[in-house]
Structure 1
Amino acid sequence: MIVSKKRLIGWILFVFCILLIPYVSMIFTDQINWKLSDFLVMGIALAGIGIFYELIVRQTKEVTYRTAFMIGLLGAFLLFWVNSAVGIIGSENQDANLLYSAVFVVGLVGALASRFEAKGMSITLMVASIVQMTVPMMALIIWPPSRISWTPSVIGVFLLSGFFALLFYLSSMLFRRAANNEMNLN
């Protein structure tokens, strides 16, 4: 895969600017305390987004497919970032947050099994959306508020999970449209 110099510089600047946010925040507040390892993990995750996106850009000219892929990738990245930085259910150290790993497993297995084809990706992202909303339900049964902290609140956890589920659902619908566009062309 050959990426143009301009696009490569764009991705490097993107990663740098995103990583500047916590770095600058650490100057002004004690609330954010990233270690070198935090910056490395986030830098690798951001670079991964760039690599995946560049792979997809090379595979199709279909704007709907590209948009669907980017929204799904954005949802996965934001889920990873929020969950690893502060946690969704209570703090990032609570075991309940490990359940969100199921969303990533569904996405990875589904994408590979469908060979990134639009119809399969639509199904994959729909399942990811459902799993995203199932996680807090399962966590509530396994770890009720009497056993662990559900900060900010049970409703807050469901709303935040709903936000991510909505991103995956939107991606799913766009992949579905891309699949229909492919069928209409054939």
Structure 2
Amino acid sequence: MAGSTENGQRQLGRSWRVAAWTSAALLLLLPLVAMQFTDEVNWTMADFAFAGALIVGTGLTFELATRMTGSNAYRAAAGVALAAAFLLVWINAAVGIIGSEDNPANLMYGGVLAIAVIGALIARFKPDGMARALFATALAQALVGVIALAARFGSTAPSFPEAIVFLTGFFAALWLISAWLFHKAARQQTSAADRRFR
């Protein structure tokens, strides 16, 4: 009975993996299809290479994270954090958050991602340390937004300040959700260890 449950879970995992990689391939094909119908989308080979590397890198990192643990909370936390990182890079490269994509103030978001990566490495990807790292990342995201608004970076853009306020809140919320899920995974890990020693 346990063997059939394990096989069923493995099969479900494979199905999700196939669906995720198929979605990634379709995401990369969207601009190619759009280029056939409109002049508004005009990607170069470099754009496709960048997008492909970003998608594959995010997918492979998620694959590694899911193999590290059987905890659904940990997997969800990693998924949310990777989605936030992916979207932050994608939006910044495509249109920019602070003004246009050419505004050098957008480079501050590289610091946000650096905090997430360095924090994860310091935490050795353990859930309790990851929760703290992602909380620090949310604070860094908010700080970048405050700096951009206070210094009026990108104030010539028609979307100023709404875009900065909305996207700062959106990304900070994603980082906080990920931190909460990592915290939940840490609690589950602690209670499982306690049950083993009783």
Residue 69 (structure 1) aligns with: 78
Change (3 A) 1:140 1:116: same
Give 1:125's aligned amino acid: L
Residue 181 (structure 1) aligns with: 188
Give 2:189's aligned amino acid: E
Answering whether residue 38 of structure 2 is matched by residue 22 of structure 1, we say no
Give 1:139's aligned amino acid: A
The total of aligned residue pairs comes to 181
Residue 80 (structure 1) aligns with: 89
The percentage of counterpart residues that share the same residue type is: 36
Q: TM-score, normalised by structure 1?
A: 0.89
Answering whether residue 108 of structure 2 is matched by residue 92 of structure 1, we say no
2:133 to 120, 124, 127: 124
Report deviation, 1:151: 3.7
The structure having more radius of gyration, on CA atoms, is 2
Q: TM-score, normalised by structure 2?
A: 0.84
1:10-36 deviation line (CA, Å, top 9, x unaligned): 554233201112222222222222111
For the residues of structure 2 that align with 1:78 and 1:144, how far apart are their CA atoms? 21
5+ long unaligned stretches in structure 1: none
Report deviation, 1:163: 0.6
Give 1:69's aligned amino acid: A
SS at match of 2:24: helix
Q: Say what the alpha-carbon RMSD is for the aligned residues.
A: 2.0
For the residues of structure 2 that align with 1:8 and 1:179, how far apart are their CA atoms? 25
Change (3 A) 1:168 1:6: same
Is this contact kept in 2: 1:132–1:161, CA < 8 A? yes
Answering whether residue 157 of structure 2 is matched by residue 115 of structure 1, we say no
Report deviation, 1:9: 5.3
5+ long unaligned stretches in structure 2: 1-12, 194-198
Is this contact kept in 2: 1:72–1:168, CA < 8 A? yes
1:145-182 deviation line (CA, Å, top 9, x unaligned): 5xx52441202211112111111110000100111111
Residue 169 (structure 1) aligns with: 176
Answering whether residue 64 of structure 2 is matched by residue 51 of structure 1, we say no
